[in-house]
Amino acid sequence: MDILSVPHVTHPGLLIAIGGAEDKTRERIILRYFLEAAGGPDANVVVLATASDVQETGDRYADLFLALRAENVEVLKIDSREEAMEAGPEAHDLLEYATGLFITGGSQLKLSSALGGTEIASTIRRRHAAGMVVAGTSAGAALLSEHMIALGESGATPRRRLVHLAKGLGLAPDLIIDQHFRRRDRLGRLLTALSYNPAPLGIGIDEDTAAIISGDGELSVLGAGAVMVVDASALRFTDSHAIHRGQPVAMMGLKLDFLTTGCRYDLNNRRGIAPPPMLHLSDPMDRRAPERPPVMTEPDEVPVGSEDGGE
């Protein structure tokens, strides 16, 4: 099987949550995978760069997809809530005909405050439910959650008020997605979020890595790093409600899975699925998931506030 082959997309469309700083200059396999999933040469791609303060971000991604031989790429220019509220038929038509939506990085709070409760957000949810592939990198990945990490601090230990949540798009209603995970030391804030509400799964995605979520509830990993899945549904005890601000939070009964390329996770039954033995024993630099291509590494992250920043 060709490493860029993509399984038949069923309804709803694939979600591709990227941890930020994906390769844009060499193999670009995560970007290529998104393009293939959206229809390959026949894809109609829309780039949404609302989160970024860099004006050229949308055009930069459009140029990347065009360089990968996409024929139809448009940038949806919505920079503020006022623009989202006043978006005319042209903006909605772009989404109606899109087979793939790519949401760039920047500030997820800027994204949610601009799009929340608007017709644009409703159209995105409806089109995804009808099969449109949606990818988000960095802040765009966080936005896919129902309970979105809006702000937070670094650190491996969960602490009272380490993280602030806001409502995201809700395309992944049972997940809390965090990004730039290992590079920015974000385990503590993901655990803190789960101490507030242990029901969702916590998903921490490394840079240059993607969590690919199918419509039937399977997550697979694509990339140079890893995806951490934290299941707090069997949490027996937490004192997050009783301690003071900044104090460490006790959490007992957590289940953690650490997934690399080739691993999968059954979101419905909350269990990891190991890769085939031959894949596991192969050269780690040449891993191939059965239906997921690998990805090359990315140079150092760009600063917070640029398109790959993310909160």
Positions marked catalytic: 138, 180, 207
To which H or E segment does residue 14 belong? Answer: none
Q: What are phi and psi of 89, to 5 degrees?
A: -60, -30
Helix (H) or strand (E) holding 60, with range, is: helix 57-67
Query: How many Å is the maximal CA-CA distance in the chain?
Result: 56
Per DSSP, the three-state class of 208 is: coil
Tell me how many helices (H) and strands (E) the chain has. 9, 17
Task: Provide the CB-side half-sphere exposure for 270 (13 A, CA).
Answer: 15
Residues shown for the chain: 311
DSSP letter for 284, please: G
CB–CB of 259/304 below 8 Å? no
